[in-house]
Amino acid sequence: MNILWIKDGKIGHEKQVKILLDELKKSLEITISEFIIQPFSVKNFILSFFNRHLENKDNFDMVIGAGHSTYMKVLSFKKDSQSKPLLVSVLVPSISKNKFDLICAPSHDSYKIKNTSNVIFYEGSLAKVSHVDPNIDIGMVAIGGINKHYVFDEAHISKQIEYMLSIHPSKTWYIFNSRRTSQLMNDKLQKIADKNKKTVIVSYDNKELNFSFDDTLSSASVKLISQDSVNMVYEALSSKGETYIFDMDSKNKNNKVVKQVNKLVKNKQIGFIEYSDLTPGLKKMNLQTQNKFNEVHAEVEKVAYKVLQKLQQ
């Protein structure tokens, strides 16, 4: 089966498509061609003529993309193709929703879609599933940064990391930052590592450190995740081990991400650090654990199964 993947160069979008395609590979023999959408310029317009092979629209059984800039290119395969490839959008498309054969969309974006006949809803985000038993000696912290959902208080977050490390002093802790992590937060993370010799800072831009985010996530027995990234939250929940989120003030309680995270907390699908009053003016931290009988989050398996059914029709 030949699949064309239209890419926009954004990691968050491309990661979800890759995870879905990797899941499909478990059931199908797939050949994947890639086309990267480039920002408009005269040079890129000229270079586009060297991608004429993509205009042979009968080569593909499925065309897939995620992100606003990919959708027009995906829909261009609606015309002129005798083979009629399956046109798939991951995330809710910003245009012509009814022209896609399938839309794979997070349920918290359901309000954007009126006609759901061509939609496969999933919870949160698509994430790689791991059923590997975690390593009791490994812990992980994943930090985002400034965002539109939560107040990112570096001092408050630092205290919570130190608290978690103090509860599990025998573990080796791997702390991952991100592109959004402020320099102030990075400085505080380094001070934490300097005081805790079993702590390793894994910077997203350090190519010399050979620590995989995905591999560490699946092997960590305890994970502390900043909830400003829905992707990170659901990546953590898609593997075994305990998952906790920070105490962070929301900017808007009606924000779709905040509501989704609050739902996880309410249903005890995720643990969290709770601040409570010890005495007036003095607060203490407590861990509120998730339900230990929760199953590993496996939304990508459900979505891939439904996509397969559509391909086989």
| Per-chain mean pLDDT for the chain | 89
pLDDT score for 95: 86
- pLDDT, one tens digit per residue, over 180-209 is 999 999 999 999 999 999 999 999 888 777
Report the predicted TM-score, pTM, of the whole model to 2 decimal places. 0.86
Amino acid identity, position 241: G
Tell me the domain boundaries of the chain. 2-127+300-311, 135-288
Which residues fall within 8 angstroms of residue 230, CB to CB, at 6 or more apart?
106, 124, 125, 257, 260, 261
Residue bearing the bigger pLDDT, 208 or 106:
106
Whether the per-residue pLDDT at 52 is higher than 60: the answer is no
pLDDT at residue 41 is higher than 70: no
Q: Band the pLDDT of 222: cuts 50, 70, 90.
A: very high
Q: State percent of the chain over pLDDT 90.
A: 74
- The token duo for 181 is 């992590």
Range 135-288: architecture per CATH: 3-Layer(aba) Sandwich (3.40)
Q: Are 239 and 130 in contact (CB under 8 A)?
A: yes
Confidence of residue 94 (pLDDT cuts 50, 70, 90): confident
Task: Give the CATH class of 2-127+300-311.
Answer: alpha beta
pLDDT for position 80: 60
User: Fold identical between 2-127+300-311 and 135-288?
Assistant: yes
